[in-house]
Structure 1
Amino acid sequence: MKIVKTFLFITFSPFFFPLISVATEPGLGICKGKENICCDGYYEENGTCKVCPGGSYGKNCTQTCPENLYGEFCRGKCKCTTEETCNPVKGCM
């Protein structure tokens, strides 16, 4: 899994042995403690975790947004008129 940004932390133990750990920047989609696994809401493409396209969510973006929700991470809430329907990608149409 390709990590775009990393931070290197060096601390010293009481025995003066440096302890080195690498942390990924939050939001890269790689689940903490699960090396090479994209979190829910992300999919893997060319070794990089990418955000699910609008209208989808879940592991590898396999699920469509629930009714009355739309967009990236299904964060949009539809408030459609009676003539409109909620599109999982674009909202009320």
Structure 2
Amino acid sequence: MNGIVVSQNPGICSNISNGEHLECCPNYRIVRSNCEECLPGSRGVDCAEACAPGFYGRLCRERCSCDPCDKVYGCQNVPKDYTHNRSADWAGSRGVDCKEDCAPGFYGRLCREKCACDPCDKVKGCENVPTEYMYYRSTGMYIFFLFR
């Protein structure tokens, strides 16, 4: 009987429970007996393909507007007049020449990290949030701090 296998892990194409070995779908790889999505900068069967020239990021879906193009992060060039602290690796910004601020809810180097709190600092995430109030998205809870 032919059919579609549905599982909680969408990357599994064959299941070990019916006597077959674990096989991951394209764009997934085996990590500790599970199928996980390819890391940014790679794709294909067992994540063996690097992004094609001009593409980068998650499953190589982002298009670069620069050359050279980093397979993971895309455009890395920073304008000469950009004065941001280089040791922070352009944290809090993204896009061509890092001229765009992170979208709400994202922070860090090229805005790749997702915040679990609101408000979210575009550079440090939840680290610099005022201590009087914090909202945790993962739990949906507001936490208020009272000082005397």
TM-score (norm 2): 0.41
Cα RMSD for the two superposed structures: 1.7
Count of aligned positions? 66
Matched, 1:74 2:57: no
| Distance of 1:79 and 1:54 partners within structure 2 | 17
1:58 to 39, 44, 49: 44
Question: Runs ≥4 in structure 1, deviation > 2 angstroms?
Answer: none
Could you report, residue by residue, the CA deviation over 1:29-76 in whole angstroms, capped at 9, with x for unpaired residues?
112xx3321011110011110011100011111110001010111011
Runs of 5+ in structure 2 lacking a partner? Answer: 16-21, 77-148
Q: Structure 1 vs Structure 2: percent identity of aligned residues?
A: 36
- DSSP 3-state at the match of 1:44: strand
Matches within 5 A, 1:21-36: 23-25=6-8, 28-31=10-13, 34-35=14-15, 36=22
What's the counterpart of residue 86 of structure 1?
69
Letter in 2 for 1:23: V
What's the counterpart of residue 33 of structure 2?
47
Runs of 5+ in structure 1 lacking a partner? Answer: 1-21
Letter in 1 for 2:28: Y
- DSSP 3-state at the match of 1:50: strand
Q: Which has the higher contact order (CA 8 A, sep 6+)?
A: 1
